Structure 1
Amino acid sequence: MSSPIAFDYPQQNAAGATCTAQAWAKTPPQLHGTEKAAVIARIKQLLVEKDATLVAHYYVDGDIQDLALSTGGYVADSLEMARFGKNHAAKNLIVAGVRFMGETAKILSPEKRVFMPDLDATCSLDLGCDASNFAKFRALHPDRTVVVYANTSAAVKAQADWMVTSSCALAIVHQLKVEGKKILWAPDRHLGRYIQDQTGADMLLWNGACIVHDEFKAVELEILKAAHPNAMILVHPESPQAVVDLADVVGSTSAMIKAVVEGSATEYIVATDKGILHRMQQLAPNKKLIEAPTAGNSATCKSCAHCPWMAMNGLQGILDCLENASGEIFIEEPIRVEALGCIERMLDFTKNHPDLLAKAQHGFVKNIGAA
Structure 2
Amino acid sequence: MSSLAKTVPLELLGRIDKLAQSTQPAMSLDDEEKATLTAKIKRLLKEKNAQMIAHYYVSDDLQALAEETGGKVADSLEMANFGAQSDADMLVVCGVRFMGETAKMLSPEKTVLMPDLNATCSLDESCPPKAFAEFCAQYPDHKVVVYANTSVEVKALADWVVTSGNALEIVTHLKEQGEKIIWAPDRHLGHWIEKETGVEMIRWQGHCIVHDEFQTYGLMELAKEHPDAKIIVHPESPAEVVDLADVVGSTRVMIEAVQNLPDQKFIVATDYGIFYKMQQLAPEKQLIVAPTGGKAGSCISCAHCPWMAMNGLQNLADCLENETGEIVIEESIRLKALQSVERMLTFSREKGLVKTNP
1:171 maps to amino acid: E
Q: Is the 8 A contact 2:27 2:312 kept in 1?
A: yes
Compute the displacement of 1:337 (Å). Answer: 0.3
Q: Is the 8 A contact 1:56 1:75 kept in 2?
A: yes
Q: Does the alignment pair 1:104 with 2:96? A: no
2:188 maps to amino acid: H
CA distance in 2, matches of 1:273, 1:99: 17
2:221 pairs with one of 213, 220, 223:
223
Q: Tell me what 1:214 maps to.
A: 212
1:267 maps to amino acid: K
CA distance in 2, matches of 1:57, 1:17: 29
Q: Tell me what 1:191 maps to.
A: 189
Compute the displacement of 1:290 (Å). Answer: 0.4
Q: Is the 8 A contact 1:177 1:202 kept in 2?
A: no
Q: Tell me what 2:40 maps to.
A: 42
**Gapped regions of structure 1 (runs ≥ 5):** 1-11, 359-371
CA distance in 1, matches of 2:25, 2:350: 41
Residues 1-371 of structure 1: matches in 2 within 5 Å? 14=6, 16-19=8-11, 20-21=14-15, 22-23=18-19, 24-354=22-352
RMSD, aligned α-carbons: 1.4
Q: Is the 8 A contact 2:5 2:203 kept in 1?
A: no
Identity %: 58
Q: Is the 8 A contact 1:129 1:187 kept in 2?
A: yes
1:79 maps to amino acid: L
SS in 1 for 2:23: strand
Compute the displacement of 1:279 (Å). Answer: 1.1
Compute the displacement of 1:16 (Å). Answer: 4.8
CA distance in 2, matches of 1:83, 1:317: 25
Compute the displacement of 1:300 (Å). Answer: 1.4
Compute the displacement of 1:60 (Å). Answer: 0.1
CA distance in 2, matches of 1:210, 1:349: 26
Q: Over residues 115-173 of structure 1, what are the superposed CA-to-partner deviations in whole Å (9 max), with x where a residue is unaligned? A: 00000000000001010000001001111100000000000000000000000001100
Compute the displacement of 1:219 (Å). Answer: 1.2
SS in 2 for 1:35: helix
CA distance in 1, matches of 2:67, 2:46: 14
1:324 maps to amino acid: N
When structure 1 is superposed on structure 2, of 251-260 and 17-26 the one drifting more is 17-26
CA distance in 2, matches of 1:257, 1:100: 23
CA distance in 2, matches of 1:55, 1:298: 38
Compute the displacement of 1:15 (Å). Answer: 5.5
1:66 maps to amino acid: A
1:185 maps to amino acid: W
CA distance in 1, matches of 2:233, 2:7: 29
Compute the displacement of 1:320 (Å). Answer: 1.1
CA distance in 2, matches of 1:316, 1:107: 26
CA distance in 1, matches of 2:5, 2:151: 16
CA distance in 1, matches of 2:197, 2:43: 49
CA distance in 2, matches of 1:248, 1:38: 43
**Gapped regions of structure 2 (runs ≥ 5):** none
SS in 1 for 2:78: helix
Q: Tell me what 1:366 maps to.
A: none
Q: TM-score, normalised by structure 2?
A: 0.94
SS in 2 for 1:331: coil
CA distance in 2, matches of 1:308, 1:15: 23
Q: Is the 8 A contact 2:5 2:202 kept in 1?
A: no
CA distance in 2, matches of 1:219, 1:28: 32
Q: Over residues 275-319 of structure 1, what are the superposed CA-to-partner deviations in whole Å (9 max), with x where a residue is unaligned? A: 001111111000000000012233210000000000000101111
Q: Is the 8 A contact 2:155 2:337 kept in 1?
A: yes
Q: Over residues 251-274 of structure 1, what are the superposed CA-to-partner deviations in whole Å (9 max), with x where a residue is unaligned? A: 000000000000010000000000
Compute the displacement of 1:222 (Å). Answer: 0.7
1:108 maps to amino acid: L
When structure 1 is superposed on structure 2, of 314-323 and 90-99 the one drifting more is 314-323
Q: Over residues 1-22 of structure 1, what are the superposed CA-to-partner deviations in whole Å (9 max), with x where a residue is unaligned? A: xxxxxxxxxxx99465433223
Label 1:40 to 1:122 Cα distance change in 2 as closer, same or farther (>3 A): same
CA distance in 2, matches of 1:69, 1:341: 30
SS in 2 for 1:114: strand
CA distance in 1, matches of 2:86, 2:296: 45
